[in-house]
Every structure is written in structure tokens, then in C-alpha cells.
Amino acid sequence: MRNHKEIRKSDSEYIPLHLCEEILARLPVKDLLRFRYVCKSWCSIIDSSVFTYMHLKLYKNNNHHENNLVLCSEYNQKQKTLYLRRINTFRQIGERIETHQNSLLRGSCKGLLLTEKEDMRLWNFSIRKFLILPHCPIQDNVTYVVLGFAPSTNDYKVVAFTYDSMAVYSLHDHRWKVKNNMTIMNPMWHVRPKLYYKDVIFVENAVYWFEFSNRFKEEYQQNHIVSFDFDVEAINLLVLPDKIIGKEIIARFLCSINDLLAVFCVSIESTCIWILEKDRGNGKAPWRQWHSGETNVDFCELIHRYYLHSNILYLQDINTFFIGFNGQLISYNIKNNKFQYVMKKFYGDVDTYVESLVSHTDSKWSDAYIRPRKVRKNSRQMQIQQDQNAS
């Protein structure tokens, strides 16, 4: 009769590699980086590009409720820091990563972040690394910079726009390509001189933003959403539903619901959410109303007093929006129409975060600086330290 160790060894030898791959793809990045050293076959699986994108999809879906994270980026006078919080408790987990000084956050997409100052950098929070991008050929005249993902090629792309050209950076190729002599930004779209991170949202294979509203012209209304498709590398224009266009609208926000683009609209009398259908070639209207409800008067007055960026965070598990403005972070529940202050001192942005293995074996990526966490001492430890100092 075989002993216990022999049974375990022989059984493990006959676990099919495809089954190991399915199991590993549902584990956190931190564990996978350790499991690379278990055996050569596991290392080969984890390091493959096919597994990287398999994990990106399966881990997110498998942990839809239990392991959702919020990425926070906070500013001070010189530095920006990135860190994660649990969605249900909003407690910080793990360390903070410091980006380069005075940098601006330009995009967030499937586990990667884009920052810009003198140079552009991609950051992967999960593996604690960053990549400095090659110099953009049109960087001196850039109006917009966006980060996205092309599902057809499993490639992350950074796109820089001017009014008559654009440059596209491919993470696969690690180089820029320039497209000249083309009308990128139609003057009739009333585009903003600069596009900020929280004005843009990435959904599926495209980024979206509202056309710029000229507040000095009362007769002008925002009727369109501008989009850039990363698969075909082209700009498109979407017409908003008639019911969310008008002077009675106090605010409109972009968000993602079930991996679909959505518009959250607030008026004095009601709130509503419209979703852009994925299959828009069936002859039906591309938009459908997903939610309609009453509004909170205090919430309306609050958002009416301040300028708010278009992209806000919606957590479907708790039916709640998170909105950062004026050094504060508030939440608004669309089911009970209640809002509350989550953090009264918050200078930064919030966004959902997906763990990613992207580029974990690429030698061009550098290690990020991790800020040590402050450990709070209890009263007994403080008393001992005071006695030691006194002696």
C-alpha cells in the first residue's frame, strides 16, 4: 500500500495543465508572482501572454463581489500617491506608490495607469512597476492624451491628439506611430482646450467624453458624446437621448454599468440612468433607460454649486455613486436617494481597479518607489518609549 506522500505526488502529476491554468487564473497577482517558483510548468503558464489576458478576464469575474477594489490617487504640493481601498469598508490596504513629482493622472484601464509630466509613464500597481514611454513625436502640440485597450489585439494603447493629427503608442511594439493630415477634432464639437482624466471613461474598447459645453452661450446645449475606438483607431460622435438634453438638467455624468457605457442624469425633479446598448446594428435606438427615480434636493443643490468632472464611480453591488469634488468625497445611493460624506479631506480621484499581470516579465519596466506604511503605536508602546527617552 502506498504511503500518503506517494499518493499526493502521483495525483499531482496527473492534473492536466489546462486545469492548472484555469485554477491559477482565478488567483490574486501577489500569489501568482510567488507561485512562479513552485515549478517550471507553473512558471511557464504564468509568464505566458495568453495567461496574462486570461487572468485579466477570469479573476475580475470570479471576484466580482468579494474582492472589488477602489484605486485612489491623492495629491499634495509636490507628490502624487496611489493606493487601494476595499469597496465595502473603504479601508486602505497595502502600501502607497509614489509617482514622479507634479505628475498628472491621464488614464486608467484594465490594471494600468498613465501619468504625464515631462514624460509619460505607465504604471502597474499590482506588480509595483512603471514604464517610461518613448518621447511622443507630437508631444509639443498635444491637446488630449488617453489610455485604452484594443481587445482585437490584446494591446494597451496610449493616444495623443492634436487638432489635425494623432500619435498612437502600442505597448506590444513599444513605439509611436503618427497619423497626419486628418481632421481629428471637429470645431463644431466644442472640444475643451485640455481633457482631464476624470472627464474621460474607458468602456470595452473605447474612451468616451462629453463634448465641451460653452457656459457663456445660453442657447448652446451638450447633445453629443465623443468616442475613440482603440481597435480601429477612429473618433466617432454619439447623439444623446432627447430626454436628457435640456436646461432643466443640473448635471450629467459618465459611468460604466455591466461593462456598458451609461449616463447618470440629475434634474430637480428626478434622476435617471441611460445605457448605450452593445449591439447597435439592429435598427433599434442605441440608448435604453435603465433607471428612473426621485431626487434628493440637498444633493441637487450641492452638485449645482460646484464644477464636477464628468466621469464618476458607480458600484452596482451597493447601488451607489462616488463623486469627488472640492476636497471631499461623497456617495449617493440611487435606491434610497441618500448622500453622505465618505471622506471630508480627499484631494484626488477614485476609480475601480482590476489586478493585472501585464508586463511583469518585461525588463524595460522599473520598480516603483513604495512609501513605508506608518504603524500606529498603542498607548503601552508609547509609554515605554517615553520612559526610555527620559532615562
More confident residue, 149 or 215: 149
Q: Are residues 16 and 94 in the same domain?
A: no
Q: Tell whether 381 is covered by a domain.
A: no
pLDDT of residue 379: 47
Q: Are residues 24 and 93 in the same domain?
A: no
In 3-state terms, what secondary structure has residue 18?
helix
Q: Are residues 285 and 345 in the same domain?
A: yes
pLDDT digits 0-9 by tens, 81-94? 777 776 666 666 66
Give φ, ψ of 116 to 5 degrees. Answer: -145, 140
Domain end (from 34, 67, 100): 67
Q: Are residues 162 and 231 in the same domain?
A: yes
pLDDT of residue 149: 94
Question: Contact at 8 Å (CB) between 15 and 341?
Answer: no
Please say if the pLDDT value at position 366 is more than 70: yes
Alpha helices in 89-245 (DSSP H): none
Please say if the pLDDT value at position 169 is more than 90: yes
Report the predicted TM-score, pTM, of the whole model to 2 decimal places. 0.81
pLDDT of residue 230: 94
Domain end (from 67, 94, 114): 67
Q: Tell whether 46 is covered by a domain.
A: yes
Please say if the pLDDT value at position 280 is more than 70: no
Q: Which residues contact 218 (CB under 8 A, 6 or more apart)?
A: none
Note every long-range contact of 210-216, with CB atoms under 8 Å and residues 24 or more positions apart, other chains counting. Answer: 210/252, 210/254, 210/310, 214/190
Q: Are residues 275 and 130 in the same domain?
A: yes
Per the listing, cell 489586478 goes with 355
Residues 11-23 have a mean pLDDT of 75
- Domain count within the chain: 2
Please say if the pLDDT value at position 168 is more than 90: yes
Q: Are residues 272 and 317 in the same domain?
A: yes
Q: Which helix (H) or strand (E) holds 23?
A: helix 17-24
Q: Are residues 54 and 103 in the same domain?
A: no
pLDDT of residue 286: 87
Question: Contact at 8 Å (CB) between 147 and 135?
Answer: no
pLDDT of residue 325: 74
In 3-state terms, what secondary structure has residue 67?
coil
Q: Are residues 12 and 122 in the same domain?
A: no
Per the listing, cell 442624469 goes with 265
pLDDT of residue 51: 92
Q: Are residues 75 and 61 in the same domain?
A: no
pLDDT of residue 170: 95
pLDDT of residue 175: 94
pLDDT digits 0-9 by tens, 49-84? 899 988 888 876 655 544 456 666 666 555 667 777
pLDDT digits 0-9 by tens, 312-346? 888 877 888 888 777 778 888 988 888 888 877 77
Domain end (from 49, 67, 85): 67
For 285, the grid coordinates are: 435606438
For 244, the grid coordinates are: 436628457
pLDDT of residue 95: 66
Q: Tell whether 386 is covered by a domain.
A: no
Q: Are residues 21 and 118 in the same domain?
A: no
pLDDT digits 0-9 by tens, 286-310? 899 999 988 888 888 887 766 666 7
CATH number at residue 182: 2.120.10
Q: Tell whether 391 is covered by a domain.
A: no
pLDDT digits 0-9 by tens, 177-222? 998 766 656 555 555 656 677 788 899 899 998 876 554 444 445 6
Q: What is the DSSP string of 259-304?
A: TEEEEEEEESSEEEEEEE-S---SSS-SEEEEEEEE--HHHHHHHH
pLDDT of residue 76: 59
Percent of the chain, pLDDT > 90?
16
Q: Tell whether 379 is covered by a domain.
A: no
Q: Tell whether 225 is covered by a domain.
A: yes
For 75, the grid coordinates are: 495629491
Q: Are residues 300 and 247 in the same domain?
A: yes
Q: How many angstroms separate the CA atoms of 159 and 146, rounded?
A: 5
Q: Tell whether 380 is covered by a domain.
A: no
Q: Are residues 124 and 57 in the same domain?
A: no
Identify the CA nearest to 323 among candidates 196, 201, 198. Answer: 198
pLDDT digits 0-9 by tens, 238-258? 888 888 877 678 888 898 888
pLDDT of residue 155: 93
pLDDT of residue 1: 46
Q: Tell whether 178 is covered by a domain.
A: yes
More confident residue, 96 or 185: 96
State which residues form the domain around 159: 68-369
Complete edge-to-edge strand list for the sheet that includes strand 366-367: 104-109, 112-116, 120-124, 129-132, 366-367
Per the listing, cell 468579494 goes with 66
Question: Contact at 8 Å (CB) between 312 and 321?
Answer: yes
